Amino acid sequence: MGACGATAAHRPPSILQARAAAAERGAAAGRGRWQGPGRGVGRTSGGRRPNGIKPVELEQQASFKDPFPDAPVTAIIGGGLAGLTCAQELARCGLQATIFDTGEHGVGGRLATRCSLDGSLKGAPAGLLFDHAAQFFTATDPAFTSMVHRWEADGAVMRWTGPVGMLADGHFVPDDGQGAVRWVARGGMRQLAQYLAGQAHRPGEAARGPSSPGSGTAAAALVTVRRPQWISGAQAEPEGWRLVGRGRDQGLFDMAVIAHNGKCANRLAAPMRGAEAVHRQLRRLKLSANWVLMAAFASPVAAPGGLQGAFVSGSQVLGWAANNTAKLGGPAQGGVQCWTLISTQAYGRLNKVPQENVPPEVAQRVTAEMLAAFTRCLGLPEGALPPLVFTQAQLWGAALPTNSLHVPCLFDPSARVGVCGDWVAGGGSMQAAALSGVAMAQRIVAASGQQGDALRGLALGLDVPLRAVQGEQIGQFPGKQAAPAADAHTSAAAQTAAPAGKQPSLGAY
Ligand SMILES: Cc1cc2nc3c(=O)[nH]c(=O)nc-3n(C[C@H](O)[C@H](O)[C@H](O)COP(=O)(O)OP(=O)(O)OC[C@H]3O[C@@H](n4cnc5c(N)ncnc54)[C@H](O)[C@@H]3O)c2cc1C
């Protein structure tokens, strides 16, 4: 079967019928379906599960004996942008997928928004809203650009036209008109993820046809989202991959897609017997750490040029600052302004602690250092920032890839395992993540019903070396032209090259 160029609605009925029948068979066999508590699976020392079913004997590099299923049912482990677009594209091609995601407050991963309304900001006063990781995105690839235009037509994203540019020593240089359009999600990045998962509710919105890739309503019937659900293991059985989370069986799937990175992905892939080639590539991935400080000020910050967002130049501490209240509009009242400050990667590395358990004294020190750096960058005297009504410092320990495979996705068709995500497709950008998810789905579609050399020929990225990525401290922005540099220390490379082990002193910037 070839790639799914046509929409599901336009596909020959025979294929759709075959898929529906296969999906029913899969469902009847419990494939990809919740099988209830108490049916947990676990690897045993003899390779035999407690219920007596012997897992398929896999060599170091496994091959499923049967042809790739004609209507594969896919498990996508990770509900970030890549996992979501993968599921959307599979659904557009008439294939079922289940997304598993750990998100407590919603899907999205690094499309993260924190908001007082939904409890994602602990102890915050009402009305605060912060984009907590991805700040805005650009689109240069034609396929991604048309996806974004559909999101815009659906009201999920909008253009950010406020002053954004480069900030150094109190000087702000806007980059207006110099590069690609800046896009942001209405209501914060997490809303875009919710929309893609078909979970966003827009009163009065009419349902759209099920034919456009990247449309939030397209996939509803074929995509299942299970959240919050951690997947801790995957085990090959003759029929496919069985997933385990919190010690419980999460179902049997024809194909497993790892749509996340970092330690979690390593931990998951390492024991996946038969997915060694995939795991080898995952082990080579290098990731930055970045601190993010969410700070709400009681009154407007005196920002030069009325800047709404700025890449910070020449600071060892600060890489980015954005006024979310101006960017997103939203509920902040009485002059309160919500700012997101993101550290440089060098600062993140020097101040790395366990992300799940940040010692309070570290959070306090980082907060003070980032605020001091912000003051300096704005060109304000010490103590000149308005009073704070809320701060929260958090570390993204696996923030941004610093190397990439530079291929659309990673696919081992014999082992029926794939990986998609920003790090696979070129670096830390929403464009890379979205395109990687779509490419992953298209490989699965192309593999459907194939076997032998035709199937093996669809392998991708298993042997290519990872290469370093260049960009800003907070990722890559395709099409963005470099703003005029204010001094010699502006490049990401210069900032990341801060002497290892040397802690910036309080107020260093
Ligand atoms: C601080 C920061 C600022 C950024 N700024 C920008 C920006 O301005 N513009 C831009 O284009 N990009 C930016 N990026 C990068 C952008 O956010 C990412 O490239 C993109 O969101 C990656 O999407 P993804 O789907 O590949 O991965 P992720 O978003 O990381 O999604 C992975 C998901 O998998 C889940 N998961 C992990 N392990 C498991 C498991 N075992 N079981 C179930 N679920 C699991 C995670 O919880 C997560 O939800 C930024 C990133 C950071 C960290």
DSSP string, 5-69: -S-GGGS-HHHHHHHHHHHHHHHHTTBTS---TT------TTS--TTSPPPP---SS---SSPPP
The model's confidence at residue 267, banded by pLDDT at 50, 70 and 90, is: confident
Cβ-in-10-Å burial (0-12, 13-18, 19+) of 419 comes to buried
- pLDDT of 319 strictly over 80: yes
Rounded Cα distance between 501 and 147, Å, is 43
Rounded Cα distance between 447 and 26, Å, is 18
Task: Give the CA count within 13 Å in the CB-facing half-sphere of 339.
Answer: 30
More reliable by pLDDT, 503 or 475: 475
Q: Which two tokens stand for residue 242?
A: 């069985």
More reliable by pLDDT, 485 or 439: 439
Please, what sign has the CA dihedral across residues 405, 408, 414, 419? Answer: positive
- pLDDT of 30 strictly over 60: no
> What integer pLDDT is reported at residue 123 of this predicted model?
87
Burial 3-14 (b: 16+ CB within 10 A, else e): ebeebbeeeeee
Q: What is the mean pLDDT of residues 226-246?
A: 92
- pLDDT of 38 strictly over 70: no
**CA 394 – ligand 1 centroid, Å:** 15
- Determine how many CB atoms are found less than 10 A away from the CB of residue 434: 32
For ligand 1, mutation pick of 84, 260, 480 (most atoms within 8 Å of CB): 260
pLDDT digits (tens, 9 = 90+) for 373-430: 999 999 999 999 999 999 999 999 999 999 999 999 999 999 999 999 999 999 999 9
- pLDDT of 51 strictly over 90: no
Rounded Cα distance between 254 and 31, Å, is 8
Which stretch of 165-169, 244-248, 288-292, 305-309 has the lowest confidence by average pLDDT?
Answer: 244-248
**CA distances for 390 relative to 132, 187, 292, 361, angstroms:** 14, 20, 14, 17
Cβ–Cβ < 8 Å for 359, 321: no
**CA 61 – ligand 1 centroid, Å:** 29
The model's confidence at residue 160, banded by pLDDT at 50, 70 and 90, is: very high
**CA 133 – ligand 1 centroid, Å:** 8
Provide the percentage of residues in the chain whose pLDDT is more than 90.
Answer: 67
Q: What is the mean pLDDT of residues 66-86?
A: 96
The model's confidence at residue 173, banded by pLDDT at 50, 70 and 90, is: very high
Which stretch of 50-54, 281-285, 492-496 has the lowest confidence by average pLDDT?
Answer: 492-496
Rounded Cα distance between 161 and 149, Å, is 16
Q: What is the DSSP letter of 255?
A: E
- Determine how many CB atoms are found less than 10 A away from the CB of residue 360: 8
**CA 183 – ligand 1 centroid, Å:** 17
More reliable by pLDDT, 171 or 218: 171
Which stretch of 54-63, 266-275, 302-311, 445-454 has the lowest confidence by average pLDDT?
Answer: 54-63
> What integer pLDDT is reported at residue 331 of this predicted model?
54
Which stretch of 133-137, 335-339, 348-352, 504-508 has the lowest confidence by average pLDDT?
Answer: 504-508
Cβ–Cβ < 8 Å for 338, 392: no
The domains found in the chain, sorted by start residue, are 8-42+54-108+197-286+402-468 (3.50.50.60), 114-140+159-187+288-397+479-496 (3.90.660.10)
- Which residue has a Cα nearest atom 13 of ligand 1? 134
Q: Which two tokens stand for residue 411?
A: 């696919």
- Kindly report the backbone phi and psi dihedral angles of residue 467, in degrees, each rounded to the nearest multiple of 5, phi listed first: -120, 150
The residues, ordered by sequence, that sit 6+ positions from 113 with a Cβ below 8 Å of its Cβ are 120, 129, 130, 131, 132, 185, 187, 188, 189, 190, 191
> What integer pLDDT is reported at residue 19 of this predicted model?
47
Only one residue has tokens 């049967």, namely: 66
- Which residue has a Cα nearest atom 12 of ligand 1? 429
> What integer pLDDT is reported at residue 93 of this predicted model?
95
* DSSP letter string, 165-180: EEEETTEEEE-TTSSS
> What integer pLDDT is reported at residue 198 of this predicted model?
86
Beta strands 113-115 and 129-131 are antiparallel
- pLDDT of 460 strictly over 70: yes
Which stretch of 231-235, 243-247, 495-499 has the lowest confidence by average pLDDT?
Answer: 495-499
Q: What is the mean pLDDT of residues 318-347?
A: 91
> What integer pLDDT is reported at residue 220 of this predicted model?
60
- Which residue has a Cα nearest atom 49 of ligand 1? 109
- pLDDT of 22 strictly over 70: no
Cβ–Cβ < 8 Å for 222, 97: yes
> What integer pLDDT is reported at residue 199 of this predicted model?
57
> What integer pLDDT is reported at residue 171 of this predicted model?
97
> What integer pLDDT is reported at residue 170 of this predicted model?
95
Q: Which atom of ligand 1 is nearest to the CA of 431?
A: 11
More reliable by pLDDT, 280 or 263: 280
What is the C-alpha radius of gyration for the chain, rounded to an integer number of angstroms?
23
- Which residue has a Cα nearest atom 36 of ligand 1? 78
- pLDDT of 28 strictly over 90: no
- pLDDT of 495 strictly over 50: no
Cβ-in-10-Å burial (0-12, 13-18, 19+) of 353 comes to middle
Paired strand residues for 245: 248
Please, what sign has the CA dihedral across residues 238, 244, 247, 249? Answer: negative
Q: Which atom of ligand 1 is nearest to the CA of 421?
A: 26
Burial 111-134 (b: 16+ CB within 10 A, else e): bbbbbbeeebbeebeebbbbbbbb
- pLDDT of 269 strictly over 80: yes
Q: Which two tokens stand for residue 170?
A: 């109190």
Q: Which atom of ligand 1 is nearest to the CA of 423?
A: 26
Protein residues with CB under 6 Å of any ligand 1 atom: 77-83, 100-103, 109-111, 133-137, 230-231, 259-260, 264, 268, 290, 292, 342, 396, 399-400, 421-422, 428-430, 433, 474-475
Provide the percentage of residues in the chain whose pLDDT is more than 70.
Answer: 77
Report the amino acid identity of residue 386.
P
**CA 355 – ligand 1 centroid, Å:** 15
- pLDDT of 480 strictly over 90: no
Beta strands 233-237 and 240-245 are antiparallel
Q: Which atom of ligand 1 is nearest to the CA of 100?
A: 43
Q: Which two tokens stand for residue 430?
A: 């929403």
